[in-house]
């Protein structure tokens, strides 16, 4: 049963499906992507913060490590500092560097020779001097690793703060320092001052060593079970969600490279998603209000529309019961009003038609007698027509030909079974219709034949091509004559049609056979001919006639003696006679002299027999193979040259079959491995009686690829071997093997590798020592600056210290990487900029650092000047660009193109560079150094004072120049 619903209900449901649901779906999808993009942006910022803090922690740990290494070198040169002086030196280091609580100098037995303590506990030195520390875990681990070792963190008994022990092995002993980690809180303090975000640091055991809540640090809170900490301890940086104290958080973790600690930047997820949730509430409230307003408007509009429609329905019901007098009230809706007018017009039309029908019924009434007379006359005519049809059908059924009768208009009046059988149309399909065999465009031709027959002419033997009902063509023969009626008048045409298709096909097949033979022979790319038993030419094809067109030879009836030189003609006759006598085909190469030029013909001759089996004709097909013969001769000569080349090669070459039998071997092979005749390759080379465990020849043949490998013979000589698969002329697979003696080359390569390894170790040691010496200079500048009271002099010392650090950082990166000649400049710039921000005590909430560094590596000749220029320009921005706590950002970009051109950009949006100051002629040492270094690397520098300060330096990497 079909369900019927009200129009009002349908329109409301349609409004909900078309407008409300799509709007709701679009809104929810937009909120989903807004939430995802917000989390992605926050994750990226937090990850960058975590990596930056990890770099700062790593830099912080490098300073005590470098200092202990310097102390170790001073210990090795103790002749310059004796006794109390050396103790004073160690005490000064502990007092100067706040991160040291104590320093111990151990001898090669693990006993403390010298001790440096904080000023408050110097009196306890006697407790530690001579103390045996060989059993301590840090001592044994550092000795075993032969390198420095960081212990796990713990609470210091001296300060009560988190601390650890750093052990650095040196010559004849070890330097041990106890480090106070309170400085880690200063590193994360700028981040913890931000709203809604906090940072903390976790050691390798998963315990908190720096946290905005000091209680967690002092209690050494264990957070190893958090999934973010588990991932970080597994060595994976990333952003994760986790629950801490029942609150869902999102954090980014970065691993400190030197110590394996974790830096975590975290936020409460509720605070992070607060903007999105506000948007969700606003969206849902707006959507609900819009729905209510739209629904009210829809119901009101439907009431306005459906009221006149109900009136029209009532009017329609009146018309259905025969009440055509309807009166509709005025309707305000245009379309419904027009419908009401048309409804009234329809009611009037229906009423008029009923009256007209009533009048027609009265006029069409007739008597029963009149109807009976008409029926009798009709039956009589049907009987006469039936008799005629019976006679014609009996006549037509007996006729073998198609008999068709037409009236004077060309319509078919009779169609016998033979016509149905020949043409495919049944009688019912054609009688009373135009002749179906008239093709498109042939109506005039048919009308002409019809007119001739209607004029009294008899048509005979007319051949036509027509189409059957199936669409197949048919060839017919037409005979036609006029058809007279009982009064002797021509009333139509009767035609006899016969199928002559088989006769036509036989005639066409004979013609096409002759034509194909002629076309085949004339288009044959070879010269063909036929001769009788007496040697007279009776046929030549077009190819032969074209070949000798210039000689204008009359071939027919002539013999070879009339055309060719005597020697050539005699050779032709001899071969022809052989074919006729032997009654079989032969193929011979016949040398022919043409115009004093010798050519070679490949002649295929065969006999043609009569009905008695006698040879009566010699037929032949000739191809000029002169070029092929010359190519074969040249190939034979080339083979001889190749054979000579293989015999003279200073390497062994041999061919072997698929069963590993040696088919050919050059003289080098025979001199070194003996005569290979009839032997297998594995017997010759290895003295085996079976296949090798890993046969490269089989692999080369199976994959049809070249195999390269090496093997060492019993004589100690090493060969580089190439296997090439190919197919012999008879189709059998073969392998060509070439073996080159590389014994001397391998020895030379091993010697070169050993030399390079030695130089690599030496170069790493040089970079390491240069970096350590630069660190010593930096530390000495730092120590000296503590005794200077003039702030300008202190700034000068800090600038010099930063320049030294920038150069030391390059040497540190070089000896820590595999490539000793080039430095990863992107990583270098990140470390350098972090050091500068820390040196000047810049709050990262006040001045943001934005880096856009291409993935490029530079040689040391270019990296050192570029590092110094970045140091000077960034230092200048930090010192002068943001006075009195002004906020802003510093951008560092390094761009490169496909041609190797580099562009270094350092910009800030601070107060800007003074308009009246020429940076190229200023007395500032830093800017003078930038200009000098730009010239040193062959670059150019441009200053842009709009929107702050931007220095743009264009340069190319310096090519290496040999030092003298």
Domains of the chain: 401-499 (3.30.450.20), 524-631 (3.30.450.20), 821-956 (3.30.565.10)
Query: The tokens of 544 are what?
Result: 């032969």
pLDDT (0 to 100) of residue 15: 63
Taking the CA atoms of the chain, what radius of gyration do you get in angstroms?
A: 56
Count the neighbouring beta carbons within 10 Å of the beta carbon of residue 837.
20
Mean pLDDT of 248-274: 83
Distance of CA 622 to the CA centre of its chain: 57
pLDDT of residue 79: 41
Query: When comparing pLDDT for 278 and 668, which is higher?
Result: 668
Question: Which residues touch 2 (CB under 8 Å, ≥6 apart)?
Answer: none
Mind listing the pLDDT tens digit for each residue in 318-370?
A: 666 666 666 666 666 666 666 666 666 776 676 677 666 666 655 555 445 55
- Percentage of the chain beyond pLDDT 70 is 79
- CB–CB of 475/468 below 8 Å? no
Q: What is the percent of the chain where pLDDT is above 90?
A: 2
Q: Are the beta carbons of 812 and 771 closer than 8 angstroms?
A: yes
Interior/surface letters 36-59, b for 16+ CB within 10 angstroms, e for the rest: eeebeebbeebbbbbbbbbbbbbb
Q: In which band, very low, low, confident or very high, does the pLDDT at 13 lie, cut at 50, 70 and 90?
A: low
More confident residue, 505 or 766: 505
954 falls in which pLDDT band (50, 70, 90)? very high
What DSSP character marks residue 18? I
C-alpha span between 306 and 333 (Å, rounded): 10
Q: Where do runs of H (alpha helix) occur along 77-136?
A: 84-96, 125-128
Determine the average pLDDT of the residues in 806-814.
67
Q: Which residues contact 115 (CB under 8 A, 6 or more apart)?
A: 87, 90, 102, 103, 104, 105, 125, 128, 129
Tokens of 782: 């730092």
Query: CB of 76 within 8 A of CB of 170?
Result: yes
pLDDT tens for 414-443 read 888 888 888 888 888 888 887 777 777 778
What are the structure tokens assigned to 369, written together? 């007698």
Task: Report CA-CA distances (Å) from 551 to 222, 531, 546, 567.
Answer: 111, 20, 10, 19
Quick check: 300 pLDDT over 80?
no
Burial class (CB in 10 A: 0-12, 13-18, 19+), 352: exposed
Average pLDDT, the chain: 78
Backbone torsions φ then ψ of 849, nearest 5 degrees? -110, 120
The H or E element containing residue 147 is: none
Integer Cα distance of 40 and 42 in angstroms: 6
Distance of CA 606 to the CA centre of its chain: 63
pLDDT digit string, tens, across residues 97-108 = 777 888 888 888
Residue 964 has pLDDT above 50, yes or no: no
Q: Is the separation of the CB atoms in 106 and 139 below 8 Å?
A: yes
Question: 531: left (phi > 0), else alpha (psi -120 to 50), else beta?
Answer: beta
The answer to whether the CB of 151 falls within 8 A of the CB of 209 is no
pLDDT value at residue 963: 47
3-state SS, residue 623:
strand
Residue 602's closest CA among 619, 592, 591, 588?
588
CA distance 98 to 132: 26
Q: Kindly indicate the confidence band of residue 388, based on its pLDDT and cuts at 50, 70 and 90.
A: low
Pairing of strands 149-150, 112-117: unpaired
* Phi, psi (degrees; rounded to nearest 5) at 587: -130, 120
Cα-based distances in Å from 169 to 65, 101, 142, 166, 573: 11, 19, 7, 10, 108
- Enumerate the β-bridge partners of residue 415: 404
Say whether pLDDT at 38 is over 50. Answer: yes
Instruction: Let me know how long the chain is.
Output: 964
Checking if the pLDDT of 754 tops 80, the result is no
* Residues 239-260, mean pLDDT to the nearest whole number: 84
Per DSSP, the three-state class of 92 is: helix
Query: Looking at residues 292-314, what average pLDDT do you find?
Result: 67
Name the β-bridge partners of 569.
Answer: none
Task: Round to whole Å and give the CA distance between 926 and 799.
Answer: 9
| The pLDDT of residue 903 | 92
Q: What is the pLDDT of residues 484-535, one digit of tens each?
A: 887 788 888 888 888 887 777 777 777 777 777 777 777 777 888 888 888 8
Local confidence band at 951 (pLDDT 50, 70, 90 cut-offs): very high
The answer to whether residues 165 and 178 touch, using CB atoms and an 8 Å cutoff, is: yes
> CA-CA distances (angstroms) from residue 636 to 630, 632, 642?
10, 6, 10
Classify the phi-psi angles of 732: left when phi > 0, otherwise alpha if psi is within -120 to 50, otherwise beta. Answer: beta
Least confident of 27-41, 183-197, 555-569: 27-41
How far is residue 740's CA from residue 718's CA, in Å, rounded to a whole number? 8
Is it the case that residue 472 has pLDDT exceeding 70? yes
pLDDT in tens, 821-868: 688 888 888 887 888 887 777 777 788 888 888 888 888 788 888 888
What is the mean pLDDT of the segment spanning 933-951? 88
Structural contact between residues 327 and 311, judged by C-beta atoms closer than 8 angstroms: no
Give the Cα separation of 316 and 318 in Å (integer). Answer: 5
pLDDT at 9 over 80: no
C-alpha 806/C-alpha 43 separation (Å) is 31
**119 pLDDT more than 80:** no
Cα 550 from chain centroid? Answer: 63
CA-based nearest residue to 198, from 87, 259, 272? 272
Transcribe 631-646 into DSSP letters: HHHHHHHHHHHHHHHH
Residue 643 has pLDDT above 80, yes or no: no
Query: Which among 110-119, 805-814, 899-908 has the top mean pLDDT?
Result: 899-908
Q: What gap in Å lies between CA 730 and CA 862, rounded to an integer?
A: 65
Whether the predicted pLDDT of 480 surpasses 80 = yes
**Whole-number Å distance between alpha carbons of 874 and 884:** 18
What SS3 state is found at 113?
strand
pLDDT of 5 higher than 60: no
Residue 581 pLDDT: 87
Half-sphere exposure of 650 (CA within 13 A, CB side): 2
pTM listed for this prediction: 0.35
The helix/strand/coil state of 316 is: helix
pLDDT band of residue 83 (cuts 50, 70, 90) is low
Evaluate the CA torsion angle 278, 280, 283, 285 in order and state its sign. Answer: negative
Q: Alpha-carbon distance 193 to 289, whole Å? A: 42
Is 291 or 601 the better-scoring residue by pLDDT? 601
* CA–CA distance, 737 with 653 (Å, rounded to integer): 6
pLDDT band at 1 (very low <50, low <70, confident <90, very high): very low
Q: Which two tokens stand for residue 271?
A: 């605070």
- Rounded CA-CA distance 894/874 in Å is 14
Which one-letter DSSP state was computed for residue 755? H
pLDDT (mean) for 260-288: 77
The torsion angles phi and psi of 633, rounded to 5 degrees, stand at: -65, -45
Distance CA 626, CA 314 (A): 107
- Give, rounded to a whole angstrom, the gap between the first and last alpha carbons of the chain: 105
Q: What is the 3-state secondary structure (H, E, C) of 364-395?
A: CCCCHHHHHHHHHHHHHHHHHHHHHHHHHHHH
Going by pLDDT thresholds of 50, 70 and 90, the confidence category of residue 952 is very high
Secondary-structure percent of the chain, ordered helix, strand, coil, rounded to 5: 50, 25, 25
958, two tokens: 């310096």
Which residues partner with 155 through β-bridges? 162
CB 660 within 8 A of CB 682: yes
**Which residues fall within 8 angstroms of residue 490, CB to CB, at 6 or more apart?**
408, 454, 456, 482, 483, 484
């Amino acid at each position: 049963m079909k369900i019927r619903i009200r129009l009002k209900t349908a329109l409301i449901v349609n409004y909900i499906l078309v407008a409300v649901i799509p709007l709701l779906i679009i809104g929810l999808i937009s909120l989903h992507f807004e939430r995802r993009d917000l989390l992605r942006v926050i994750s990226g910022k937090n990850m960058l913060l975590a990596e930056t803090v990890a770099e700062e922690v790593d830099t912080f740990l490098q300073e005590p490590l470098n200092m202990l290494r310097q102390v170790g070198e001073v210990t090795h040169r103790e002749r310059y500092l004796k006794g109390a002086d050396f103790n004073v030196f160690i005490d000064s280091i502990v007092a100067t560097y706040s991160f040291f609580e104590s320093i111990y100098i151990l001898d090669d037995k693990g006993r403390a020779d010298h001790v440096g303590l904080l000023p408050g506990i110097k009196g306890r030195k006697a407790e530690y001097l001579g103390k045996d520390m060989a059993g301590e875990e840090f001592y044994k681990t550092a000795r075993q690793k032969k390198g420095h070792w960081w212990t796990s963190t713990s609470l210091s008994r001296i300060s009560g703060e988190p601390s650890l022990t750093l052990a650095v092995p040196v010559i004849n002993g070890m330097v041990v320092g106890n480090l106070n980690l309170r400085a880690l809180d200063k590193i994360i303090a700028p981040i913890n001052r931000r709203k809604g975000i906090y940072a903390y640091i976790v050691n390798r055991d998963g315990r908190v060593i720096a946290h905005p809540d000091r209680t967690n640090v002092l209690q050494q809170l264990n957070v190893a079970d958090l999934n973010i900490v588990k991932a970080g301890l597994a060595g994976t940086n990333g952003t994760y969600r986790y629950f801490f104290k029942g609150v869902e958080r999102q954090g980014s973790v970065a691993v400190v490279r030197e110590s394996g600690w974790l830096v975590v930047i975290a936020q409460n997820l509720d605070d992070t998603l607060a903007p999105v949730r506000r948007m969700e509430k606003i969206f849902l409230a707006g959507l609900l209000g819009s729905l209510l307003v739209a629904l009210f408007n829809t119901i009101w509009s439907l009431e306005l529309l459906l009221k006149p429609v109900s009136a029209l329905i009532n009017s329609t019901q009146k018309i259905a019961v025969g009440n055509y007098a309807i009166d509709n009230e005025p309707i305000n809706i245009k379309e419904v009003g027009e419908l009401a007018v048309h409804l009234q017009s329809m009611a009037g039309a229906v009423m008029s038609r009923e009256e007209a029908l009533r009048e027609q019924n009265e006029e069409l009434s007739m008597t029963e007698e009149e109807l009976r007379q008409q029926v009798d006359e009709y039956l009589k005519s049907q009987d006469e027509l039936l008799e005629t049809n019976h006679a014609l059908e009996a006549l037509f059924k007996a006729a073998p030909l198609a008999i068709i009768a037409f009236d004077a208009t060309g319509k078919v009046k009779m169609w016998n079974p033979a016509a149905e059988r020949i043409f495919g149309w049944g009688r019912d399909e054609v009688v009373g219709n135009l002749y179906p065999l008239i093709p498109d465009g042939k109506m005039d031709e048919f009308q002409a034949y019809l007119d001739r027959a209607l004029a009294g002419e008899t048509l005979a033997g007319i051949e036509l091509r027509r189409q059957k009902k199936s669409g197949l063509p048919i060839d017919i023969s037409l005979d036609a004559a006029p058809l007279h009626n009982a009064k002797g008048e021509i009333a139509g045409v009767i035609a006899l049609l016969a199928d002559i298709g088989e006769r036509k096909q036989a005639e066409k097949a004979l013609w096409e056979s002759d034509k194909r033979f002629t076309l085949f022979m004339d288009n044959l790319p070879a010269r063909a001919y036929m001769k009788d038993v007496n040697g007279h030419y009776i046929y030549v094809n077009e190819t032969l006639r074209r070949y000798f067109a210039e000689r204008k030879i009359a071939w027919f009836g002539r013999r070879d003696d009339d055309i060719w030189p005597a020697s050539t003609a005699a050779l032709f006759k001899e071969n022809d006679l052989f074919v006729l006598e032997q009654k079989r085909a032969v193929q011979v190469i016949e040398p022919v002299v043409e115009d004093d030029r010798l050519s070679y013909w490949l002649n295929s001759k065969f006999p043609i027999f009569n009905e008695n089996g006698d040879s009566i004709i010699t037929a032949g097909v000739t191809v000029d193979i002169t070029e092929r013969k010359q190519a074969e001769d040249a190939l034979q000569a080339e083979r001889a040259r190749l054979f000579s080349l293989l015999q003279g090669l200073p390497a062994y070459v041999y061919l072997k079959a698929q069963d590993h039998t040696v088919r050919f071997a050059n003289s080098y092979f025979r001199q070194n491995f003996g005569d290979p005749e009839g032997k297998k390759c594995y017997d010759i080379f290895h003295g085996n009686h079976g296949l090798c465990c890993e046969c490269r020849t089989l692999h080369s043949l199976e994959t049809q690829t070249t195999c390269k490998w090496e093997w060492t013979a019993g004589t100690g000589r090493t060969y580089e071997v190439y296997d090439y698969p190919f197919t012999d002329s008879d189709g059998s697979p073969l392998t060509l093997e070439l073996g080159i003696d590389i014994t001397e080359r391998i020895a030379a390569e091993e010697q070169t590798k050993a030399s390079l390894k030695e130089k690599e170790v030496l170069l790493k040691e040089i970079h390491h020592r240069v970096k350590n010496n630069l660190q010593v200079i930096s530390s000495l500048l730092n120590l000296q600056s503590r005794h200077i009271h003039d702030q300008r002099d202190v700034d000068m010392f800090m600038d010099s210290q930063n320049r030294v650090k920038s150069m030391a950082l390059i040497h540190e990166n070089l000896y820590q990487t595999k490539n000793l000649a080039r430095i990863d400049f992107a990583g270098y710039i990140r470390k350098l900029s972090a050091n500068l921000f820390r040196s000047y005590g810049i709050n990262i909430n006040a001045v943001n650092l934005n880096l856009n560094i291409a993935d490029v590596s530079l040689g040391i000749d270019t990296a050192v000047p570029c590092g110094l220029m970045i140091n000077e320009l960034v230092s200048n921005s930090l010192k002068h660009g943001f006075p009195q706590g002004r906020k802003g950002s510093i951008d560092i970009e390094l761009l490169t193109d496909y041609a190797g051109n580099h562009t270094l950009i350092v910009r800030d949006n601070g107060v800007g560079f003074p308009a009246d100051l020429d940076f190229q002629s200023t007395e500032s040492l830093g800017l003078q150094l930038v200009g000098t270094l730009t010239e040193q690397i062959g670059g150019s520098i441009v200053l842009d004072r709009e929107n702050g300060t931007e220095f743009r330096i264009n340069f190319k990497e310096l090519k290496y120049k040999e030092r003298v």
